[in-house]
């Protein structure tokens, strides 16, 4: 982000002159005299101290000290080893018009100190620019840091407020100058989507900038590294590490790096040009250099939220991801049920539809429900066929309300009402006695041109993109995805019925509060620049949508929000995981593709958040129900096929595995290590995974023999604390063996006589 050595453009000169003129009109806001020292310690062991000179936050594992004037990190230390990672470094920096003009701040007023119900401590500090960077007048940063018990790290959030319009071209959310011997850095860039990505995918036909080719994680290691990433780790010769995790999607502007001795997590808007959503398979355009590019406009009276960053310390390569997972699962992700779901997408032969909509009506629902009960489904999700019109989001029902009528009603008997009522009462009368929750597919940012919401609020169009989408959708209203609706809203636009985003939220809330919906699969999300009376850039578009999700989750924490991440540049990885599971792999991936995704994304992401089809019904002769269910255990288990096509002989085996998963969900739906270095994508080797809690010594071992000629493999487990362990083989747990920690670390031999087979063990630590 530092471009001070580059030629300064006319725009940059004008911006800096404006800032200097503003500064000449007055001085920075006064810094209040500090109050006497304040100390707070929670029963869980998190301690904060604030005095006239510094702020200290500690939890017995890590400690961070900040100087108040100027605002800097005095030290960041791992108390487990006594290692100090950085000293006397700034943490946040801003760039306006491409030039760093604010990287030194002082504290304004007294920091706020809060103890939270989860045992954490939050410190909120207001910062203002200091010295030569006291530009512009009135600029404020409100920065909060949360530290939790038992986690070697902290969460940091920031918002910016300005009294004058400013062009923000980037920022650093946290930085350090790590000290130590043999420092090496590693960048992890996580990508979404299996719609076109696989290990062989190289680039789209039209490309400007980095292709970001390949599969779903790209890792770069070296003495100096920089690039698009969401995870940066700097490790010393012992393996101990300082790391940052950026809660942002895989836009080119998500920039992390370790260069010239400085580790940095931040954003450079100049890297972005345009995001094409599902068309990224065909074209990708980003700024290939460091010249002028995009920016964000800070507006008076409108605070801008910057992305969350987690700063952590790891004792070694096994401890680093575990520390982040404890934060993610314990304090960031909503406590969703990690349920077994069925999605009706593939109940579709265009019998009562013509495009993307499925063929689910009440009669089909009853047929699918009968099988869902037999295999142990917990959440029954209607895909896009349930709605009469996207945008109105009303069940296609036999009621007077025209919003609940398919626009083709009366033209053909196939378009008769699908449900007997518009509140899913008849559906819930069947689901609730079966112990199942109701889920719905929605495309919340798109609408069908026939929707009443659009007719009443044409101002909600996202121009100019929606002008073209509207013509396409109107020309072919019933084909493919057009049948569901592809025209994009502007979430911040005002119409007769208020803001578009408020209308979207009201329909989601009605589904939750009136219909009893407890699960949503949100699809088709894409971020565009919307012009017109209510302009919004693609960043603010994303922020508007996420803020709406957060309001719903805050009020209804028992509702699961699943984001479809089968295309790039949506919310994957950590913006999505902070709100629920993902739908990650479309279609019905072969076992090797599912194992590849788990191998590539663990231990950084929990596999139980990755949704994909659990069963390939037509391939049970090639991959048995036992093998496919063993693969599905490490996923957000989703049956994505017509359940009535499952052979009767397979149902008891499927049910046995689903019952086993329910009984031991905690051991399988958790933090997971990959155990074999080879990528299982080729399909001719072995794969192994270790769902694990290294602090309790409980978890599981899942081993897969693909089409390998080897009948056994030595499997070495990771991060196993001392003690003796019992291995119980699933699903019957009749086969048991006892081993000690050293044996598990050194490796145990697992024999699997047949190809395309698996063995699954639950692991208990003995008293």
Which regions of 555-615 does DSSP assign to beta strands (E)? 560-564, 582-583, 610-613
Give the closest residue to 243 by CA, choosing from 329, 315, 192, 180: 315
Lowest mean pLDDT, pick from 9-23, 204-218, 564-578: 9-23
Contact between 156 and 144 under an 8 Å Cβ cutoff? The reply is: yes
Contact between 560 and 580 under an 8 Å Cβ cutoff? The reply is: yes
Please state the rounded mean pLDDT for residues 469-489: 93
Contact between 227 and 258 under an 8 Å Cβ cutoff? The reply is: no
Tell me: the pLDDT tens digits for 320-339? 999 999 999 999 999 999 99
Contact between 698 and 658 under an 8 Å Cβ cutoff? The reply is: no
Residue 696 in this model has a pLDDT that exceeds 80? yes
Q: Which pLDDT band holds residue 29 (cuts at 50, 70, 90)?
A: very low
Tell me: the pLDDT tens digits for 577-595? 999 999 999 888 999 999 9
Tell me: the pLDDT tens digits for 54-95? 999 999 999 999 999 999 999 999 999 999 999 999 999 998
What percent of the chain lies above the pLDDT cut of 70? 94
pLDDT of residue 25: 37
Please state the rounded mean pLDDT for residues 485-504: 97
Tell me: the pLDDT tens digits for 749-762? 999 999 999 999 99
Alpha-carbon distance of 232 to 221, in angstroms, equals 10
Residue 33 in this model has a pLDDT that exceeds 60? no
Residue 249 in this model has a pLDDT that exceeds 60? yes
Pairwise pLDDT comparison (568 vs 383), residue with the higher score: 383
Residue 291 in this model has a pLDDT that exceeds 90? no
Tell me: the pLDDT tens digits for 150-170? 999 999 999 999 999 999 999
Rg (CA), the chain: 27
Compute CA distances 2 → 20, 44, 98, 297, 629, whole Å: 20, 41, 8, 19, 51
Residue 197 in this model has a pLDDT that exceeds 90? no
**Bridge partners, residue 127, by sequence:** 107, 141
Alpha-carbon distance of 542 to 307, in angstroms, equals 12
Contact between 6 and 271 under an 8 Å Cβ cutoff? The reply is: no
Please state the rounded mean pLDDT for residues 348-354: 93
Place of tokens 């100087």: 67
pLDDT of residue 476: 93
Q: Which pLDDT band holds residue 261 (cuts at 50, 70, 90)?
A: very high
SS (H, E, C) 738-765: EEEHHHHHHCEEEECCCCCEEEEEEEEE
**Beta-sheet pairing, 241-246 with 112-115:** unpaired
pLDDT of residue 135: 61
Alpha-carbon distance of 699 to 765, in angstroms, equals 9
pLDDT of residue 14: 42
DSSP 483: G
Alpha-carbon distance of 176 to 170, in angstroms, equals 18
Contact between 20 and 12 under an 8 Å Cβ cutoff? The reply is: no
Alpha-carbon distance of 281 to 191, in angstroms, equals 13
Contact between 292 and 170 under an 8 Å Cβ cutoff? The reply is: no
What percent of the chain lies above the pLDDT cut of 90? 84
pLDDT of residue 99: 67
What are the chain's domains? 10-332 (2.70.98), 341-583 (no CATH), 592-767 (2.60.40.1180)
Nearest-5° Cα angle at 185, 182 to 188 = 155
What values do phi and psi take at 425, rounded to 5? -65, -45
Tell me: the pLDDT tens digits for 637-681? 999 999 999 999 999 999 999 999 999 999 999 999 999 999 999
Q: Which pLDDT band holds residue 4 (cuts at 50, 70, 90)?
A: very low
Residue 367 in this model has a pLDDT that exceeds 80? yes
Residue 26 in this model has a pLDDT that exceeds 50? no
Give the closest residue to 251 by CA, choosing from 292, 192, 336: 192
Q: Mean pLDDT of all residues in the chain?
A: 93
Alpha-carbon distance of 619 to 613, in angstroms, equals 13
Cα 222 to chain centroid, rounded: 27
Please state the rounded mean pLDDT for residues 209-229: 93
Lowest mean pLDDT, pick from 310-314, 404-408, 454-458, 463-467: 404-408
Number of Cβ within a 10 Å radius of residue 497:
14
The CA dihedral of 483, 489, 494, 499, to the nearest 10 degrees, is 90
Give the closest residue to 563 by CA, choosing from 588, 539, 540, 542: 542
pLDDT of residue 201: 86
pLDDT of residue 131: 65
pLDDT of residue 35: 62
Tell me: the pLDDT tens digits for 103-135? 688 899 999 999 999 999 999 999 998 865 556
Contact between 579 and 334 under an 8 Å Cβ cutoff? The reply is: yes
Those residues whose C-beta lies under 8 Å from the C-beta of residue 448, and which sit 6 or more positions away, are 389, 390, 391, 407, 454, 473, 477, 483, 484, 485, 487
Residue 604 in tokens? 């950084």
Alpha-carbon distance of 764 to 127, in angstroms, equals 49
DSSP 414: G
Which regions of 586-634 does DSSP assign to beta strands (E)? 610-613
Residue 723 in this model has a pLDDT that exceeds 70? yes
């Amino acid at each position: 982000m530092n471009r001070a050595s580059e030629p300064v453009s006319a725009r940059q000169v004008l911006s800096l002159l404006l800032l200097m003129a503003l500064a000449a009109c007055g001085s920075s806001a006064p810094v209040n005299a500090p109050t006497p020292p304040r100390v707070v310690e929670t029963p869980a062991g998190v301690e904060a101290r604030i005095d006239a000179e510094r702020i200290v936050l500690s939890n017995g594992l890590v400690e961070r000290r900040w100087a108040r004037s100027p605002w800097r990190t005095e030290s960041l230390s791992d108390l487990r080893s006594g290692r100090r990672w950085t000293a006397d470094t700034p943490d946040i920096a801003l760039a306006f018009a491409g030039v760093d003009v604010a990287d030194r701040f002082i504290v304004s007023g007294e920091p706020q100190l809060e103890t939270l119900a989860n045992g954490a401590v939050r410190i909120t500090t207001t910062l203002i620019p200091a010295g030569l960077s006291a530009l512009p007048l009135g600029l404020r940063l409100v920065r909060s840091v949360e530290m939790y018990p038992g986690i070697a790290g902290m969460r940091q959030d920031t918002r910016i407020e300005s009294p004058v319009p400013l062009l923000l071209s980037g920022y650093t959310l946290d930085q350090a100058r790590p000290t130590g011997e043999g420092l090496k850095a590693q960048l992890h860039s996580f990508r979404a989507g299996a719609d076109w990505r696989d290990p062989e995918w190289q680039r789209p036909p039209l490309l400007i900038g980095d292709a970001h080719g390949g599969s779903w994680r790209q890792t770069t290691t070296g003495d100096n590294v920089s690039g698009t990433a969401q995870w940066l780790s700097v490790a010393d010769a012992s393996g101990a590490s300082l790391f940052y995790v950026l809660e942002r999607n895989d836009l080119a502007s998500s920039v992390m790096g370790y260069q010239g001795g400085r580790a940095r997590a931040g954003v450079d808007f100049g890297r972005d040009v345009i995001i094409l959503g599902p068309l990224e398979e065909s074209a990708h355009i980003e700024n290939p250099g460091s010249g002028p590019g995009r920016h964000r406009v800070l507006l008076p009276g409108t605070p801008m939220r910057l992305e969350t960053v987690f700063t952590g310390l790891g004792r070694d390569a096994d401890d680093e991801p575990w520390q982040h997972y404890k934060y993610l699962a314990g304090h960031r992700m909503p406590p969703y049920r990690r349920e077994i779901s069925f999605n009706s997408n593939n109940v579709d032969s265009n019998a009562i539809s013509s495009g993307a909509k499925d063929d689910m009506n009440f009669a089909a629902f009853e047929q699918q429900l009968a099988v869902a009960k037999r295999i142990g489904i917990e959440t029954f999700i209607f895909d896009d066929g349930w709605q009469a019109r996207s945008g109105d989001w009303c069940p296609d029902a036999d009621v007077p309300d025209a919003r609940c009528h398919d626009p083709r009603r009366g033209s053909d008997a196939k378009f008769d009402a699908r449900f007997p009522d518009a509140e899913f009462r008849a559906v819930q009368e069947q689901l609730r006695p079966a112990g199942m929750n109701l889920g719905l597919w929605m495309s919340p940012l798109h609408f069908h041109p026939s929707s009443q919401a659009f007719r009443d609020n044409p101002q909600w169009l996202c121009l100019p993109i929606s002008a073209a989408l509207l013509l396409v959708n109107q020309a072919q209203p019933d084909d493919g995805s057009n049948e569901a609706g592809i025209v994009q809203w502007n979430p911040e636009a005002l119409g007769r019925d208020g803001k578009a985003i408020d209308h979207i939220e009201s329909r989601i809330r009605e589904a939750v509060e009136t219909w009893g919906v407890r699960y949503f699969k949100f699809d088709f999300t894409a971020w565009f620049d919307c012009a017109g009376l209510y302009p919004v850039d693609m960043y603010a578009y994303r922020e508007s949508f996420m803020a709406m999700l957060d309001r719903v989750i805050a009020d209804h924490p028992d509702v699961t929000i699943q984001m479809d991440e089968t295309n790039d540049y949506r919310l994957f990885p950590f913006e999505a995981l902070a709100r629920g599971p993902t739908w990650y792999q479309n279609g019905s991936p072969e076992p090797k593709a599912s194992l590849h995704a788990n191998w590539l994304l663990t231990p950084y992401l929990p596999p139980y958040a990755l949704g994909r089809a659990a069963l390939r019904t037509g391939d049970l002769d090639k991959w048995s129900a036992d093998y496919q269910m063993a693969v599905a255990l490490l996923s957000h288990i989703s049956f994505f096929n017509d359940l009535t096509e499952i052979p009767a002989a397979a149902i008891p085996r499927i049910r046995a595995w689903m019952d086993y998963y329910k009984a031991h969900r905690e051991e399988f739906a958790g933090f997971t290590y990959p155990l074999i270095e080879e990528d299982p994508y080729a399909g001719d080797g072995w794969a192994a995974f270790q769902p694990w809690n290294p602090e309790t010594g409980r978890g599981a071992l899942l081993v897969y023999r693909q089409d390998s000629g080897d009948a056994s493999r030595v499997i070495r487990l990771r991060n196993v604390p001392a003690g003796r362990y019992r291995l119980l083989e699933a699903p019957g747990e009749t086969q048991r063996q006892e081993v000690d920690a050293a044996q598990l670390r050194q490796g145990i031999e697992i024999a699997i006589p047949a190809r395309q087979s698996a063995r699954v063990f639950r692991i208990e630590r003995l008293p």
